[in-house]
Structure 1
Amino acid sequence: MEVNPLKEKLKNKNLILASGSPRRKQILEELGLSFSVEIRKVIETYPSHLSTPEVALYLAELKAEPFKNDLGEDDILITGDTIVCFEGEVLGKPRDRKEAYEMISTLSNNKHDVISSVCLKSKNKTAVFKDYTTVYFKELTKLEIDYYLDYYQPFDKAGAYGIQEWIGQIGINKIEGSYYTVMGMPIHLLYENLMKF
């Protein structure tokens, strides 16, 4: 009989994914895990003195805050955050189409870093970790950017793009690091940390 090692390890645990991201949900499903999804509102702001890696960690922990007094003995909460960094500047989710166009134009013919962080929280324990991937975009034409923005509406995504969508398929020359980190969940580190947690 084939046994999923992680599922076996967590068989008496109640996993809660605190994220509305369909990508994170899909990644957890692909790990073969059973979990519920619960979202609580958080204002995603951070202190200006934080370095870019610290921002991702801070926001992942911030998203776990609303749950801290409600976790039972067998609960494990999973929250995550992904930021796109270009030349030391954090590119968040675009406010509108104009800002999305500016972001993708900036990333075009350039490289940037994606940092995805995860917070695991139980009643008595917290673990926070992150992963980096460097992404290289080819030079994108105005027509390509316009088509992507009009058809895919990536306004809920950091840096205004999703690697798994059309723009990633036609526009990315190479990545250094994990594809899943760019998708929003460093799955190899999640597996490792859940096995230890």
Structure 2
Amino acid sequence: MKKRIILASGSPRRKELLSKFNIDFDIVQSDIPELVNDFDEPKQTAMSLAFQKANDVSQKMANGEIVIAADTIVVFKDKILGKPRNENEAFNMLSELSGKTHSVITGFAIIEAGTYNKIIDYAETIVKFKDLTSGQIKRYIKTGEYLDKAGAYAIQGFGSILVEWIKGSYWNVVGLPISKLDNVLEKYFGVRLL
């Protein structure tokens, strides 16, 4: 019998990404608050938040469902850049990232409900921004795309203009390291995305 797969995320990007593959899944959002301290260890923070979301949702399940959760953070100079609260914060973040490299880390957790079968891991991608003028940054902010985005940009949208190059998984920057996720799902949970 095929196990039910649950995506513990309200992110439209993660839903859209997972929808491209050969699995049926339901969405059940987690209620845990995303508390991030700027100076926490980034990889641990991303994995911890992903685990808390997956654990929260798996506690509500009873039939061995496979629960997948993820959390993406942007790190610059060892400091976690969260989601900007307003245009000023977005402007400051993007100005800081201009012409420099930063790291995008997605922690993910997969839990088989009602068992001790769980895997927590992360993927990291290095992103280099081109040199941006304040006019370019302001025009980008006017698109509204920065809202609800760690680091104040979306690489899959208008934000692609800001990026000079990346090293690592593109999909990780979008919010789900799909290749690594597929490896873990198949190896430990018998689930194939293809």
Query: How does the TM-score come out when normalised to structure 2?
Result: 0.90
1:171 aligns to what? 162
1:6 aligns to what? none
**Contact map agreement 2:38 2:79 (CA 8 A) in 1:** no
CA distance in 2, matches of 1:46, 1:158: 11
Q: CA deviation at 1:109?
A: 0.6
1:62 aligns to what? 52
1:52 aligns to what? 42
1:38 aligns to what? 28
- Is 1:145–2:146 an aligned residue pair? no
Distance 1:49 1:146, change over 3 A: closer
CA distance in 2, matches of 1:49, 1:103: 16
2:192 aligns to what? none
Q: CA deviation at 1:147?
A: 1.4
Query: How does the TM-score come out when normalised to structure 1?
Result: 0.89
Q: CA deviation at 1:49?
A: 7.2
1:96 aligns to what? 86
Unpaired segments of 5 or more residues in structure 2?
A: 190-194
Q: CA deviation at 1:75?
A: 0.5
CA distance in 2, matches of 1:136, 1:49: 22
**Contact map agreement 2:38 2:81 (CA 8 A) in 1:** no
**Contact map agreement 1:94 1:100 (CA 8 A) in 2:** yes
Specify the code of the residue in structure 1 equivalent to 2:140.
Y
Q: CA deviation at 1:68?
A: 3.5
Unpaired segments of 5 or more residues in structure 1?
A: 1-10
Distance 1:114 1:60, change over 3 A: same
Specify the code of the residue in structure 1 equivalent to 2:164.
N
1:162 aligns to what? 154
